[in-house]
Structure 1
Amino acid sequence: MTSTTLQLSEPFGQVSYREAGQAHVGVRATVVLIHGVGMQSAAWAPQVTTLSKSHHVVALDMPGHGGSDPIPAGSELPVFVDWLRAVLDALGLQQVSLVGHSMGALIAGGFAIDHPDRVARVALLNGVFCRDAIARASVIVRAEQIRAGSFDLETPLQRWFGDTPLEKQARKDVAQWLSQVDIDGYATAYGAFARGDALYADRFDKIRCPMLALTGEDDPNSTPEMSHAMASAAPNGHAVVIQDHRHMVNLTAPDEVNSALMDWLHMPAEQDVLT
């Protein structure tokens, strides 16, 4: 699955994405995948392989990640939401089934709130939601350190992975993606991630489409409590917690995550349109 670039409207430059599968008879809305801070579209490989058997799938490189151009330094979460709208417009996708992981979940949730007519369903994997004061202060300090040029590779890896063979392989892949990321793009995305956890939280009742909130039981930052709170706040929300897994659950528990996503994709959406 090779990467393709596409020119966006001003001021977003180019987006890089990976594409697989095609629309099948009776299958609605392209599945669009947005990764987390420091990752790239390749991190969705287990999901693309499975979902593309029955759906058209597009995995995006977030701004300043992979092959996508950066957005202005200091951009906050709404700019990333506007970026996603520009991407979907450029791809000619009127309505999508939207999946986001971590920072990608913040973008996906914000987009579903701001543009409900463009989202048939939304899945928020390892999303953050209304951190407590201690957690918020800690992540903001981390964002400031990254903005100042301090890039600690080992700390997130230790937090995200255990010692099973599958986790060790996933850790190796994630370490490679983190080592390749543009530090300025990483800093901008992490700053928006640090300050965006409550920005749309009081409007989750506006997400009327089927919403999946999924995380790992042992994720200390995107906690099961957060996923349950998001699901409770949305009228058609549903929470799934994957036992014995952490933050990179789409890589460390791909079968369980893919099964949950397939169930979510089969939930009826009121305003699906063919794309």
Structure 2
Amino acid sequence: MVSETVRTARHWGFTYRVRVRAGDESALAPILLLGGAFQDMYSWRRHEELLVRHADVVTVDLPGWGAADHLPADVGMDFLAETAAHALDQVGLRRVNLVGCSYGSLIAHRFAQRYPERVVRLALNGVATGLTSEEQRTLEGLVRRLPDCDGREFAEAVTELLSPVLPGRPVRRGEVIRQVLTARLSGLTADARRKFASNTMRLCTDVLLEPHPAPAVPTVVVSGAQDTFTTPEHGHRLALVYPHAACLTIGEADHLLLLQRDVEFCELIVAHFRGGRTDELPFCVPCPRGHEEDR
């Protein structure tokens, strides 16, 4: 039987929420999930059902997400990582297996840098090691247009950025997931739009991902093979820096890998958290060999 606990807490004046789903049999350390710009602590339900068989699952609405307080753009990733640690303290967890996806990968990376002793193993997906000037202009343009564009126009622009339709580059359930994402983003509340704007501008002004010090924790960095937003090259560059990292891609997936290949993604992270050989999973392709020599 699975139990659920939700707590509201405050850190440096900002209210946030933390949620724990605990199963009867937890062979692994608890799993903390940190998601993307449009994910709240209930966005992981499908994944939770697969993961809670192996470990307790922790999700959060950090400041700037979901029902938590708005977080100004000038408050950076260090604060978000610190609040994630504060959230674990509230539910009595010292060490976790940590998963960061998309925006959450930046927070998870910073968490592992600051609190390596609290991370058993780390999994990162949709990593951006930096923004090109074109990407920065695109994101800033979305924020500028947000007050004047209708919900549908905004939703289609974001969906095209994250999961474009490209000839010869198919993704699993691509059209269905694009439709679902577009429908969800079309109905964003004014509060959600404000949070999106601030979180996006933080990407354009904060140091996006400072690789050093590289956390010396066992890590897997995984990318969708068709991801044009945070390309597999970003993940490969980060894996080169980490002292204990595997770098993998999953086919028929782009930046929305988490939704397109959800079962495989959960299988991958469970294998990693068990200490297994993730590069031997049939749906994974290891990054080119040789980064041990290049390190």
TM-score range, shorter chain: 0.7 to 0.9
1:217 aligns with 2:218: no
State the aligned residue count.
Answer: 263
Cα contact 2:172–2:260 (8 A) shared by 1: no
Letter in 2 for 1:257: F
1:188 aligns with 2:198: yes
Letter in 2 for 1:194: C
SS for the counterpart of 1:200 is coil
Letter in 1 for 2:12: E
Within 2, Cα distance between the matches of 1:68 and 1:3?
A: 16
Within 1, Cα distance between the matches of 2:111 and 2:216?
A: 13
Within 2, Cα distance between the matches of 1:202 and 1:95?
A: 22
CA 1:108 to 1:177, structure 2 compared with 1: closer, same or farther past 3 Å? farther
SS for the counterpart of 2:67 is coil
CA 1:176 to 1:39, structure 2 compared with 1: closer, same or farther past 3 Å? farther
TM-score (norm 2): 0.78
5+ unaligned residues in a row in structure 1: which ranges?
269-275
1:22 aligns with 2:30: no
Cα contact 1:40–1:177 (8 A) shared by 2: no
Letter in 1 for 2:128: V
Shift of 1:219: 1.1
**Counterpart position of 1:36:** 36
- Of the three residues 169, 173, 181, the one matched with 1:166 is 173
Shift of 1:236: 0.7
5+ unaligned residues in a row in structure 2: which ranges?
277-295
Shift of 1:143: 4.6
1:118 aligns with 2:112: no
Task: State the structure with more CA Rg.
Answer: 2
**Counterpart position of 2:159:** 157
CA 1:140 to 1:237, structure 2 compared with 1: closer, same or farther past 3 Å? farther
**Counterpart position of 1:266:** 274
Shift of 1:42: 3.0
SS for the counterpart of 1:41 is coil
CA 1:8 to 1:105, structure 2 compared with 1: closer, same or farther past 3 Å? same
Cα contact 1:96–1:119 (8 A) shared by 2: yes
SS for the counterpart of 1:7 is strand
SS for the counterpart of 2:43 is helix
Deviates more, 1:86-95 or 1:2-11: 2-11
Identity %: 21
TM-score (norm 1): 0.84
The higher-RCO structure (CA 8 Å, 6+ apart) is: 1
Cα contact 1:245–1:253 (8 A) shared by 2: yes
Deviates more, 1:250-259 or 1:109-118: 250-259
Shift of 1:9: 3.2
Shift of 1:105: 0.5
SS for the counterpart of 2:78 is helix
CA 1:22 to 1:194, structure 2 compared with 1: closer, same or farther past 3 Å? farther
Within 1, Cα distance between the matches of 2:77 and 2:36?
A: 13
Deviates more, 1:254-263 or 1:186-195: 186-195
Alignment deviations for residues 67-103 of structure 1 (CA, whole Å, 9 cap, x no partner):
2222345322222122212211212211111111111
Alignment deviations for residues 185-236 of structure 1 (CA, whole Å, 9 cap, x no partner):
1122112233446442233x2x111111111111112110011111111011
Cα contact 2:106–2:208 (8 A) shared by 1: no
Within 1, Cα distance between the matches of 2:241 and 2:265?
A: 22
Within 2, Cα distance between the matches of 1:33 and 1:78?
A: 17
1:46 aligns with 2:46: yes
**Counterpart position of 2:241:** 233
Letter in 1 for 2:204: A
Shift of 1:177: 4.2
Within 1, Cα distance between the matches of 2:172 and 2:257?
A: 14
For the aligned residues, what is the CA RMSD? 2.7
**Counterpart position of 1:175:** 182
Within 1, Cα distance between the matches of 2:4 and 2:194?
A: 25
